[in-house]
């Protein structure tokens, strides 16, 4: 299993035009440089069709944006967990707000990912959900209130209580579990606020992928993470 040490800057490429096809690799390579320069664990989640292309050409930890539990070989159009390994992927987002799955599927997916030695990053919409998902023993819980996703209004500053309650809820289940927060994270100040609330990193998409200079934006966020988590 890949060892992912916080602080973590996780960048979800979604299906943004700026990160599809060959553009995914440029963004991932930029992320690789930022990881090397700052020492922060930068994780990328490129779109499904670009996974092998990205993992074959850069050395960052790559997550799938989604995968499907319990999928037979004779199946069509799903992303079976076991196929992630052959695609060089180290883990998968689970239950992202833009790809919600049933509660029992979350459990099955976390279990199956672990079975194959892959990391799970389970997305929760509320602090209560974060606590409930923590009982499934995923590697990471990412708390993202859906109403703030893509708004540029950072959860860590607009709804700090949501982050602190989420960190507390997960901590009650397992004080060592990594909690990230996401939704609207845009600036170094947003990152500092997230860390001050107990998050071990951030999950970000539009502020990086749609930036005029994505590399510079990743540097800004990773550097803020590094400084904020330095003891
Ligand atoms: O997966 C990260 C995402 O949902 C947050 O999106 O654009 O608000 O950073 P964004």
Query: Measuring from each residue's beta carbon to the nearest atom of ligand 1, which residues come in under 6 Å?
Result: 12, 96, 144, 149-150, 182-185, 203-207
Catalytic pick from 66, 112, 129, 144?
144
Return the sign of the alpha-carbon dihedral for residues 94, 36, 30, 215. positive
CA distance 192 to 134: 24
Per domain, the residue ranges of the chain are 8-229
pTM: 0.97
Q: Which atom of ligand 1 is nearest to the CA of 98?
A: 4
Distance 72 CA to ligand 1 centre (A): 31
Q: Tell me the average pLDDT across 171-189.
A: 98
Active site residue 96: yes
- What is the dotted CATH code of the domain comprising 8-229? 3.20.20.70
CA distance 217 to 31: 10
DSSP 80: B
DSSP 5: P
- The token pair at 83 is 């196929």
Please state the length of the chain: 231
**pLDDT of amino acid 3:** 93
Partners of 40 in beta bridges:
none
Per-residue confidence band for 23, with pLDDT thresholds at 50, 70 and 90:
very high
CA distance 196 to 103: 30
Helix, strand and coil content of the chain, in percent to the nearest 5, comes to 45, 15, 40
**pLDDT of amino acid 134:** 98
Distance 215 CA to ligand 1 centre (A): 17
Share the mean pLDDT of the chain: 97
Question: Which residue from 45, 92, 184 has its CB within 8 A of the most atoms of ligand 1, so it is best to mutate?
Answer: 184
61-91 pLDDT, tens digit per residue, is: 999 999 999 999 999 999 999 999 999 999 9
Residue 179 three-state SS: strand
**pLDDT of amino acid 128:** 98
Q: Tell me the average pLDDT across 168-197.
A: 98
**pLDDT of amino acid 162:** 98
Distance 145 CA to ligand 1 centre (A): 10
Q: Which atom of ligand 1 is nearest to the CA of 205?
A: 9
Active site residue 168: no
CA distance 106 to 146: 18
Residue 111 three-state SS: helix
Return the sign of the alpha-carbon dihedral for residues 141, 146, 181, 175. negative
Q: Tell me the average pLDDT across 123-146.
A: 98
* CA distances, 105 to each of 66, 136, 188, 220 (Å): 12, 11, 35, 36
Q: Tell me the average pLDDT across 186-207.
A: 98
**pLDDT of amino acid 231:** 54
CA distance 55 to 59: 7
Q: What is the largest CA-CA distance in the chain?
A: 51
45-59 pLDDT, tens digit per residue, is: 999 999 999 999 999
**pLDDT of amino acid 230:** 83
Q: Which atom of ligand 1 is nearest to the CA of 183?
A: 8
DSSP 213: T
Distance 204 CA to ligand 1 centre (A): 5
Query: How many whole angstroms from its chain centre is CA 72?
Result: 26
Catalytic pick from 96, 112, 115, 128?
96
**Contact of 162 with 155, CB cutoff 8 Å:** yes
Of 8, 5, 7, 59, the closest CA to residue 32 belongs to 59
């Amino acid at each position: 299993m890949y060892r992912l040490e916080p602080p973590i800057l996780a960048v979800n490429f979604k299906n943004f035009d700026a990160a599809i096809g060959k553009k995914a690799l440029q963004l991932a390579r930029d992320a690789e440089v930022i990881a090397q320069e700052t020492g922060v664990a930068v994780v990328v989640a490129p779109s499904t069709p670009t996974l092998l292309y990205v993992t074959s050409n850069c050395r960052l930890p790559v997550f799938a944006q989604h995968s499907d539990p319990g999928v037979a070989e004779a199946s069509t159009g799903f992303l079976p967990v076991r196929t992630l390994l052959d695609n060089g992927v180290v883990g998968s987002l689970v239950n992202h707000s833009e790809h919600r799955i049933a509660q029992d599927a979350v459990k099955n997916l976390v279990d199956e990912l672990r079975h194959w030695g892959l990391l799970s990053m389970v997305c929760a919409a509320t602090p209560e959900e974060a606590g409930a998902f923590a009982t499934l023993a995923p590697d990471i819980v990412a708390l993202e209130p859906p109403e703030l996703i893509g708004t540029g209004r950072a959860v860590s500053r607009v709804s700090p209580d949501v982050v602190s309650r989420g960190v507390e809820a997960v901590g009650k289940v397992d004080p060592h579990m990594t909690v990230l927060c996401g939704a609207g994270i845009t600036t170094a100040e947003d990152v500092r606020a997230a860390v001050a609330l107990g998050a071990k990193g951030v999950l970000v998409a539009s502020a990086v992928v749609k930036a005029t200079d994505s590399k510079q934006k990743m540097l800004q966020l990773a550097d803020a993470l590094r400084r904020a988590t330095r003891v």
